[in-house]
A and B are shown apart, each in its own frame.
Chain A
Amino acid sequence: MTSLWRRHRWWLTPTLLILPGAVLFAVVILASSVQSLWISLHDWDGFGPMVWIGLGNYRELMDDPQFYVSLKNNVIWLVMFMLAPPIGLAIALLVNQKIKGMRLVKSMFFIPLVLASVAVGVVFTWVYTPEFGLLALIFRAFGANAPALLSDEHFVTFAIVVAALWSQIAFCMVLYLAGLNNLSEELIGAGRVDGARGWNMLRHIVLPQLTQVTFIAIAVTVVGALRSFDMISVMTRGGPFGSSSVLAYQMFEQSIFSYRFGYGAAIASVLFVIMAVFITWYLTRIIRAEERGA
């Protein structure tokens, strides 16, 4: 037995070491995801037997007006979230100075990043409260009445996205600050000698060195936008009348509140396909970078 172990441990030990993590991840995360695709082809209330209905759920989805509202809101999240990288870069440029006290200032700017999105949701619900909210106060100072953002179907999604942007901007800012610290002094110096200043310097000398950071910032922002759930759940529960729902929230609502697990799984699958397109783009990029590096 021991000699068998000794002869094979060069490959047995690594296998045993990677096994717990790999098995847990494969069973809980990967198998579950595949299983959802399977469930989406059934009618299921979560308790009784599953009834095969093929693409029935997807056909229903195509005629569900709520699906299009959610999809549209996902697009709004995605587009508006793209403000986070440039604003994050702007703040990073603003605070990238070595002056006494700046370290603390930078940390203060980071705070929204570590706040729970539930907490951020509660805070902004309150900022938006009609009559007593901060927004109402600001409007009144100009002699106007603030719209009740969270109960207005035209504004509600924008109001939630603005709240969510708070922490996303902080995230991008952290990434850009790290990037700014790794700039090549030589290139900057050479640029200065050539008379590049301000916008020109940023556009032609700084930004090209930040391509990698920008790629990451856009990637985490896309994922953040498509993951949006917490803020919607806390601030509006998808309301009024489903007008602020996104696919993630509609899926949760259909499964947990209406016991339509098959239909919920179908919505999740659509969200998965959208994300998969993105993951594929992301993975091919890093694997290519990995091969170039290795």
Chain B
Amino acid sequence: MYPRPVPETAHASRRLYMTLVGAILIVWLAPLFAVILTSFRSMADVMSGNLWGWPTEIAVVENYTAVFTQTPMARYFLNSLVITIPSVVGVLILSTLAGFVLARYRFPGNMLIFALFVGGNFLPHQIMMIPVRDLMVRLNLYDTTTALIIFHVAFQTGFATLFMRNFIAALPDELFQAARAEGATPFQTLIHVVVPLVRPALAALAILLFTFIWNDYFWAVVLTVSDDVKPVTAGLANLRGEWVSAWNLISAGTIIVAVPPVVMFFLMQKHFIAGLTMGAVKG
């Protein structure tokens, strides 16, 4: 192991080490703690400039109620779910199918298709912005959640296919030879061999995609304008313009945007890390 482990018997150095790490962690997360604390602050505190000290009164219920009742935040939150969940499911299906074919069938152009999926994934979003926006306008989908779902599914399929292909390619060959010997059709092989084995990969991918899509801001502002379809990210940017210095409410709004990915991350941390490193390290 590197660096050398702090020995279990050295109590003093252990305590010193933990104190040091704790101190760095507090500095690292200071902006976040401040936002959480401010989302508890009363308006009086904000007005008097007490933005970083301890709140004089806890107004957590008032603040979050205000955000949910006086602003469209609840609507934005719902929109984000309506956009994110179907997009994740769509990408998982399409990328499993495409990844299976690219991993298990040799055909001319296999490498080219793979390279296009990977390369396309790195394109700057702005290079496709105008035509995608135009396409959605022509399909009569501009300013709908469907437009965002279609885009996210298309775009994330690139990364997800790379991910699934690498995972399926690493499965033992014998399984596929056995399936072929049994006379299984490609479709049967997919359902009975691939799908049961890729579950961990799907879990990792699902949490990553959820975070990517939930956090998207650029496409939200390019493809939506009305409050009825806007996700939380674009919504938060809007609210900030409206409540210039009501920092306690803006903080509460920020926490609402941040909570779902953070909760998902803590619930599925092992999958998240595995996904991130597998996707990155293999690709």
Contacts and interface: CB of A to CB of B under 8 A. Distances in A.
Most buried by B among A28, A125, A264, A282: A28
Contacts of A1: none
B123 A275 contact: yes
Contact of B124 (A10, A20, A179, A227): A227
Contacts of B35: 123, 126
A110 B28 CA distance: 10
A287 B132 CA distance: 29
Interface string B111-123: 1010111111011
Contact of A29 (B158, B254, B276, B283): B158
Given A29-B155, A96-B1, A234 B237 contact: yes
B233 to A, nearest CB: 5
Interface in A84-123: 91, 93-99, 101-102, 105, 107-112, 114-119, 122-123
B124 A248 contact: yes
B2 A17 contact: no
A265 B134 CA distance: 13
B132 A32 contact: yes
A25 B158 contact: yes
B129 A96 contact: no
Most buried by A among B131, B135, B254, B257: B131
A269 B237 contact: no
B130 interface: yes
A287 B283 CA distance: 9
Q: How large is the interface on A (under 10, 10 to 19, 20 to 34, 35 or more residues)?
A: 35 or more
A115 B255 CA distance: 10
A124 B269 CA distance: 26
B68 interface: no
A183 B2 contact: yes
B257 to A, nearest CB: 5
Nearest to B102: A18
Interface in B264-283: 264-266, 269, 272-273, 276-277, 280-281, 283
A33 B128 contact: yes
A11 to B, nearest CB: 8
B111 to A, nearest CB: 7
Nearest to A182: B281
Interface stretch (A54-62, A142-150, A153-161, A212-220): A212-220
Most buried by B among A15, A36, A226, A256: A36
Given A28-B128, A111-B29, A174-B276, 9 more contacts: A20-B97, A24-B157, A29-B120, A33-B120, A95-B21, A119-B236, A134-B34, A183-B1, A226-B124
28 contacts: A11-B107, A13-B185, A17-B100, A18-B97, A21-B94, A25-B154, A25-B158, A28-B150, A29-B154, A33-B128, A33-B131, A36-B130, A99-B17, A105-B21, A110-B273, A111-B262, A116-B258, A116-B261, A118-B237, A126-B251, A134-B52, A180-B2, A183-B1, A229-B217, A248-B124, A248-B126, A268-B130, A269-B127
